[in-house]
Structure 1
Amino acid sequence: MTTPPDGLPVYRVLTGPDDSAFCHRVSEALELGYRLHEGPAVTFDGQRVIVAQAVVWSGRTSG
C-alpha cells in the first residue's frame, strides 16, 4: 500500500491523556503501517498527563 488507508494523511499527530485509550490509538496507527516520528511530547494540564505522538506513513511492512 503506497498511501495511507481511508484517506488518512501521511503525517499525523495523535494527542490525548496518557491512558490505555491513547496507547491503543498509537498501536493501531503502527499496525496500519505508520511509524513513530521522534519521541512523544508530554505535558501536565494541572490534572492529568497529556501526550502527543507524531507518526508518519511508511506503508504496511507485514500482513
Structure 2
Amino acid sequence: MKLYRLLTGPDDSSFCHKVSEALSAGWELHGDPAYGYNEGTGQMQCAQAIIKHVSGKTYSPDMKLSEQ
C-alpha cells in the first residue's frame, strides 16, 4: 500500500522540522515543494507532498497517516 500526505506550515524552521521528522519515519518526498503567501496570516506558507510504502496493511480512511 502507498500512503500520501501533504505537509503544510509557515515558512520557518518548524516546517523544516516537520518534513525532517517525516523523512526520519520512512516517508519520501514526492514532487517539488510549493510556496505561497497567506493573506490571512500575513506569512509565507510551504507545502510538501510525501509518500510511504507500507506492507501488511489495508488502507482505511480512519488511519492516522502521521502514525504510519
Task: Calculate the TM-score normalised by the size of structure 1.
Answer: 0.72
Q: Tell me how far apart the structure 2 counterparts of residues 58 and 26 of structure 1 sit (CA, whole Å).
A: 17
1:38 aligned onto 2:34: no
Match of 1:49 among 44, 50, 59: 44
Distance in 2, Cα, partners of 1:32 & 1:45: 29
Percentage of matched positions with identical amino acids: 48
RMSD between aligned residues: 1.9
What is the aligned partner in structure 1 of residue 20 from structure 2? Answer: 27
Aligned length: 52
Can you give the 5+ residue segments of structure 1 that lack an aligned partner in the other structure? 4-8
DSSP-derived class of the 2:23 partner = helix
Once the two structures are superposed, residues 28-55 of structure 1 have per-residue CA deviations (whole angstroms, 9 ceiling, x without a partner) of 0000011100111110113211011000
Q: Which runs of 5+ in 2 are unaligned?
A: 55-68
